[in-house]
Structure 1
């Protein structure tokens, strides 16, 4: 009760002598300082709105325009061509006939005209910037062969972007995602499935596509073009709603993904200390997001900005369940995190008197939680399983039992928290006598844990293990992996290189011993909820037990050696995955590679269909035992690589296949019409789902002096029951880390076997491309026609 009394700012009692008023100055001081912090943030947001609202100009440029107009007026010249006089005639002060009034009206007229001219110039600059950002031909030019048009474009873009931008400065200048022509999309689709279909199957699919284009397709396309004119992005809202929020299956494994700690290094073995630095680094990142101090992420040699809209819902965000659809709830700010440990939930305030607690103070609070001996209340320890199971039962339980009273207050604390933290009782990482097996267990732990010790609805949850290892589990609907990867890179670098630890592994800084204890969240879990918790846990546990994870670092070579061959590292890996899958399953499959569309406003992802005519021709030539000279097979590989790069570029520039077809399908559902073609296309399984985790902030890591600080990247569960999920991260010049997932219930898949096939495929391709081809140089001229014939 002592903490409750301290929280009261004032008390009063009525006595015969009157009212006895008692004030708690300490509590009032806390309220005052919190209010000051809140107003500072409001002022900062207002200032940022002005700065980004006038970008690429600056607020001070208004004064320059005013001075310039006044100077020309002083020289007896009217730059407004009579507009200033017209403005002066409509001012109320013009009816007072005094000399001072005339000077005042002239000055006001000049200010009004200057402001209008300034705003017009801003709109013109922004329009020019938008036109420049709509140019994407640079992406299709060969490396080292830049056209004069692109050179001029880069110069103009740098000129307009010379001012230091805020995080969201480019948002209104980014172009809208274009709607491809329906004929082009259907043509590209048929080309993508050609290597997967027999001649009769392809003929039937071509007939379906042609019938769709001639009848229903153009009608749906008109609606889609109308939406593209009206909406900021014609894909993103439907993608978020129908792919993520309307899904009723568990988020765990099916949707959420994970990120890992350093591969070789654990900065400290002290669990509470690692939590202190990690939480501090995350909150420092949130401060940069709120103040828009983060540099906009850019592409192509730090010239082209990418959309930053996904950063807005990074913190203080929860996906709340519904019977038909979930809802993403975002709060403007939160001064606490929620911590889970041994079945108990704690609210930890990370601000006091308007200041962020030091890492040492957060460590101190974490240690208090670790030392707390109190047991969990009935039904509390496995309550998180509700977020791991099916969505409908969780929505029903939430509405019936968590909409009022202490349960609502405790649930609100979790959902409004900046993020969720789990102090795990296990030890993880590449350690002991079985480092490879431990990496696999580490991945499974981050992907699903015990199915109840994570809060899978939060935008992301941080896991701190007993031995100091860390990781995260992220919900997918609010953003894609590159956004979370950017956050995690900053967190790891800040933790290890900026905040650091003392020699005995503790956080740096001093501790205010008067900090209040972390608040234990209180629950009243009735038997009906406990029964549903058990049911949800059973569903989640069966899902978790079925996941086969395999994580391995590929150390034979990396992007350095691949680039020396003048080949895209991503194309090299994707073709290697095609070869590995062919060897593993004896055929080819529809392959998904995630590509971003953040060159456009509110862009998210597009699919690169990596299984192409060119890649299958290369694999067959290499595997079918035909006696072919090395130069011919190398030529087939280079054709496949060029084709893959072109597919990736088209996806990035809005000329992809799958998002367009998906939106056409949504329109057909709204209109209540059936399309056999769209129904079949959208039901095709992605048996090989792949994604590259980009390394975006290498300047934060000094790999030259600290080569052990290599990130493992992250991974996700398999998309198809009989397929593989493959995530990879290209780290430095000499390593590629892979995360492979599949399901034990499918006898045709095995993550470890496929991982071995990936390693062998990459090695075999390198051996082929590095082979001495001098003896076959004379046949180089004949190689290209033969290669095209094989396609």
Structure 2
């Protein structure tokens, strides 16, 4: 075959008169170009590493300091106060370099001290105090110009350890509305006993860790919440992100996949070079970028460790590699390896489209056991770990598994269309379930993310959770969709733009030799995963009666508004209140991840009960509950949350062998309502006011409790909020569609509280406009 010949760099034949050597100029040229590209990449990474390493200074500032020091040799001034020999040029340069490094550390620690101030976040929206304005000016002054992605990492403050008294006080306050007097008194006794007897010792170890580690929570959070889990990660841990809601740029599956994969490669190149701009609150306060390092080339790998007393301890690891040059594609039970580079450059979108179309056109049958192989990553982790050791450590199985686990990411070319369709009432439900679990064997759930391409041109992402949180995946996805639609584009026929290089070698089919015993493990994992997937009750709901625009007119936080609506919906659905989890970020601190906001407060309960009492003063109670929620959210963001502190105290207690009934009780409490807001417009690459149809549908996750709800929501523009609601069919007390109806009615009922005020404002505005027009007419 022509492709096979092009893959050979040289051939030789032994003849009686000598050796005949034939070189392939095309391959030699590609080897040369690949080497040039690799060295250019190393040079750019080194340069950007230096720039980030000395930030907020710059290499040119070193030259300025050296020149200034050298000039003192001629005017016989000794700024070193005798530390250097003013006649020695080398001595002056060394002193200048030391002074320059000292100034860099001074700038960094000054910026770190400024960023440790969080008073600004507690101020009312739109009302900035003079002290905050001065503080922002100083932060801008010390932040330098044109920062790279990792420029601020060394200047971010460490996550502080809250005091035990504050944490216990806030914890008791959070559970007060959920417990009757007797149970609350029992919990209060447990909490006070813990505080007075064991907390001080555990806290000392935690403070010590906070001094030594860059973040006292994040490594234990990844280890014990994610990597020590034995249960399936499909549905229970992984989450999904949807495509654009209303727009499908092309209905050609291979073309859309080609553009999206190429956009991801562009994003990865900027990521590896550190060229993305760091995310900054208020456009000034930097956020930690550590999680972004593992977006690509990352896989969660199961493993079994033998511990003391012959007990087995299960632990996954997160394997992150660098500079992977291929991806693996799954289609109709077959796995293909696709190279992403040729001649030292990325494949063009048109070339990627051709490769994916070749896979779509391939009619070969799956090998024995290959169809459902990926179900191993969907089922329980221990059988997968044991099967991996027994069947995938040698031969073709090892080579093929290595290809998957070392790939940049995993791509599934699905064979069933999905996406939002306004004519179908359950289109979002089906779309969400497809992204969350699919057929249980057509996504590689261990990869950092699986990109999913549908026959109608729609896309989506299933993401593994241990390596990062949803905003990180959302950041990449925003870049990819904007690049796909507004920079790469398509031809009139819906194909990718650019010429097609038909000389590219065909995608390589991965080979497997799976014995019957292994196939039985695969089938068992599939059946286990299918039972979980079939139990997921999902409902996607577009709330378009109003959105952020009207909520802001009510002078309240959109997130607080929605959270109180969820509390009202929960009470109407279950007739009881429950422990509620809302995720917030702690990325204003080095290596920060998330913290919990306990949204079911005494103030929220009072408001909800008032909504069921026609004679109550509902609006005043709403404002009080909303203010309470905003304050709790701000405390969580600034390191004064409850749950991560208690979690780490519990881990320390286990290490020390300290038994704490209080910590056991806290860590065993179920979150029957788990909520999260999907971030939007992190990059602001698309003006949604100008292009209102180019908005994403957000993403979601599976239910956390067997008898509870998982709710993810995204506030899209000014007039739309999307809800993703999950629960379990096996629970007789939950129904995702019913809960969606309760959310709708709760949102409308709360909006009615503000209607007289908003109507009055509308009338006043209309009268003012009419008066102004009258003046102009006169």
Q: What is the TM-score when the length of structure 2 is the normalising length?
A: 0.94
C-alpha distance 83-767 of structure 1, shift in aligned 2 (>3 A): same
Secondary structure at the counterpart of residue 584 of structure 2: strand
Q: Residue 652 of structure 1 corresponds to which residue in structure 2?
A: 637
Q: 1:627 aligns with which of 615, 625, 633?
A: 615
| 1:3 positional shift | 4.9
270-279 or 424-433, which deviates more: 424-433
Answer yes or no: is the 8 Å Cα contact 2:303–2:316 preserved in 1: yes
Hey, what's the Cα distance between the residues in 2 that align with 1:723 and 1:516? 51
Cα distance, 1:33 vs structure 2:
2.0
Question: Structure 2 CA distance, aligned partners of 1:254 and 1:454?
Answer: 15
- Are 2:734 and 1:749 aligned? yes
Q: Which residue of 2 aligns with 1:266?
A: 248
Matches within 5 A, 1:65-464: 65-85=65-85, 106-299=88-281, 301-323=282-304, 324-431=314-421, 433-434=423-424, 436-464=425-453
Look up the match of 2:763: none
* SS of structure 1 residue aligned to 2:684: helix
Equivalent residue of 2:501, what SS?
Answer: coil
CA distance in 2, matches of 1:528, 1:19: 50
Helix, strand or coil at the partner of 1:276? helix
**Number of residue equivalences:** 751
Aligned to 1:587: 576
Preserved contact between residue 55 and residue 144 of structure 2 (Cα < 8 Å): no
| Local SS of the residue matching 1:749 | coil
Q: For residues 521 and 535 of structure 1, what CA distance do their matches in structure 2 show?
A: 23
Residues 1:401 and 1:286: Cα distance change in structure 2 (over 3 Å): same
Q: Which residue of 2 aligns with 1:98?
A: none
Match of 2:26 in 1: 26
Q: Deviations over 1:419-452 (max 9, x none)?
A: 1111100011123742x21111010000000000
Q: 1:680 aligns with which of 648, 652, 665?
A: 665
How far 1:288 sits from its partner (Å)?
1.1
Q: Which residue does 2:517 correspond to in 1?
A: 528
Q: 1:573 aligns with which of 536, 554, 562?
A: 562
Cα pair 2:3 2:504 within 8 Å, conserved: no
Q: 1:573: Cα distance to partner?
A: 0.3
Deviation track 1:27-66 (CA, whole Å, cap 9, x = no partner) reads: 3332222222222221112111110111001110011111
Counterparts of 1:462 and 1:702, CA distance in 2: 25
Q: Secondary structure at the residue paired with 2:581? A: strand
Question: C-alpha distance in 2, partners of 1:687/1:129?
Answer: 41
Q: Distance in 1 between matches of 2:755 and 2:258?
A: 49
Deviations 1:338-397 (A, max 9, x none): 111111111111110101111111111111111111111111111111111000111111
Cα drift, residue 698 of structure 1: 5.9
Provide the residue aligned with 2:595 in structure 1.
Answer: 606
**How far 1:774 moved relative to its partner?**
12
RMSD: 1.6
Cα 1:34–1:471 shift into 2, 3 Å: same
Residue 720 in 1 paired to residue 705 in 2? yes
Q: Does 1:516 align with 2:498?
A: no
2:454 matched residue in structure 1? 465
Which residue of structure 2 aligns with residue 699 of structure 1? 684
Distance 1:774 1:60 in 2: 59
Distance 1:307 1:750 in 2: 38
Q: Compared with structure 1, are the counterparts of its residues 774 and 724 closer, same or farther at alpha carbon in structure 2 (3 Å cutoff)?
A: closer
1:198: how far off? 0.3
SS at 1:455's partner residue? coil
Once the two structures are superposed, what CA deviation does each residue of 1:507-534 show, in whole Å capped at 9, x if it has no partner? 1111111111111111111111111111
Structure 1 residue matching 2:385: 3-state secondary structure = helix
Distance 2:58 2:687 in 1: 35
CA distance in 2, matches of 1:180, 1:270: 54
Aligned: 1:474 with 2:463:
yes
Aligned equivalents of 1:504 and 1:143: distance in 2? 48
Quote the residue 2:769 is aligned against.
none
Contact in 1 for aligned 2:11/2:22 (Cα 8 Å): yes
Describe the superposition over 1:440-499 as per-residue Cα deviations: whole angstroms up to 9, x where unpaired.
101000000000000000000111101111101000000000000111111111111111
Partner deviation per Cα, 1:625-671 (whole Å, 9 max, x = no partner): 2523xxx3211110100000000000000000000000011111111
Q: More displaced, 597-606 or 41-50?
A: 41-50
Q: Deviations over 1:128-176 (max 9, x none)?
A: 0111111111111122332222111100111112311000000011001
CA displacement at 1:4 relative to structure 2: 5.2
Q: Show the counterpart of 2:653.
A: 668
C-alpha change, 1:207 and 1:715, in structure 2 (3 Å) is same
**SS in structure 1 of the partner of residue 328 of structure 2:** strand
Cα-to-partner distance string for 1:243-285 (whole Å, 9 max, x where unaligned): 0011111110000000001111111110011101110111111
SS in 2 for 1:726: strand
Q: Distance in 2 between matches of 1:609 and 1:368?
A: 51
For 2:152 and 2:758, locate their aligned partners in 1 and report how far apart those are by CA, in whole Å.
49
The equivalent residue for 1:764 is 749
Shift of 1:178: 0.6
Give the drift of 1:709: 1.5
Shift of 1:771: 3.0
Q: Distance in 2 between matches of 1:400 and 1:740?
A: 39
Would you say the 8 A contact 2:475–2:683 is kept in 1? no
Take 1:474 and 1:601, find their aligned partners in 2: how far apart are those partners? 23
TM, length-normalised to structure 1: 0.93
Distance in 2, matches of 1:589 and 1:442, equals 29
Q: What residue ranges of structure 1 are gaps of 5+ in the alignment?
A: 89-101, 776-791
Question: Matched residues in 2 for 1:542 and 1:400: separation?
Answer: 26
Whether the 8 Å CA contact 2:479–2:683 is kept in 1: the answer is no
> Shift of residue 710 of structure 1?
1.8
Are residues 1:556 and 2:545 paired? yes
More displaced, 672-681 or 723-732?
672-681
How many Å separate the matches in 1 of 2:295 and 2:421? Answer: 32
Closer/same/farther in 2, CA of residues 19 and 126 from structure 1, 3 Å limit: same
